[in-house]
Structure 1
Amino acid sequence: MVRIDYAPWGIVAPHYHPRATEIITVIEGSLEVGFVTSNPDNRLISKTLQKGDVFVFPVGLLHFQRNVGHMNAVTISALIIFGSKPDISTNILAKAFQVDKNIVQQIQRKF
């Protein structure tokens, strides 16, 4: 998990995570976010988020964030790492994400 502070009109340049999905929550401000779908469409999916909004960047897809306000913006981002081989310990993930072990196990089963 990481806290990101954006200056007015500040950006996180386009990038991707080859082995993790990213989830972002806006704590303060307004943020334009987007990602590009896979071939053959290469379609841009974008949205302007407000305080309290959550957005998911799928694993392996190019994505970006940009503060579209005149004030600072703040987000919390987390990389979802439930699909490792072998699985990361349920106890470690439950403590890291502050959730019950059963929730971690449900997510791990999806992989």
Structure 2
Amino acid sequence: MKGVHFLISTLAILAFATFLASAYDPSPLQDFCVAINDTKSPVLEGTLYVGFVTSNGDGNRLFTKVLNKGDVFVFPIGLIHFQLNVGHVKAVALAALSSQNPGVITIANAVFGSKPPINPDVLAKAFQVDNKVVNYLQKQFWYNNS
């Protein structure tokens, strides 16, 4: 009988631990883009070309916008996104992350600069390029590629 109680207790603990391990910050965001053209905003300046790509299930659609002073753009959590200064002066922008544990992953650094490196055959097939291109990219110094 003690064995049955032990087994049930162990299963309950494992089920609870699995629940905790799969927890994440839920995102209430249901829409993609918000853009407000308010040229009277006193904080930001410059011109940025920004965008993101939706997930595979949504057809990998690209959403872009040129942001001017006072504009706002929302990047949905977990999607590939970018920002590029297309103006003639330095751009100042604000970023807010919704996670309790925010972080940044630079895709080029993660993919081509991983240690140990990702097998070049995998990357060649994923990016539909020759292995020579992958080898060249993996040999680059990826610390600061700006």
- TM-score normalised according to structure 1 size: 0.49
Q: Which has the higher strand share?
A: 1
Larger RCO, structure (CA 8 Å, separation 6 or more) = 1
More helix by share: 2
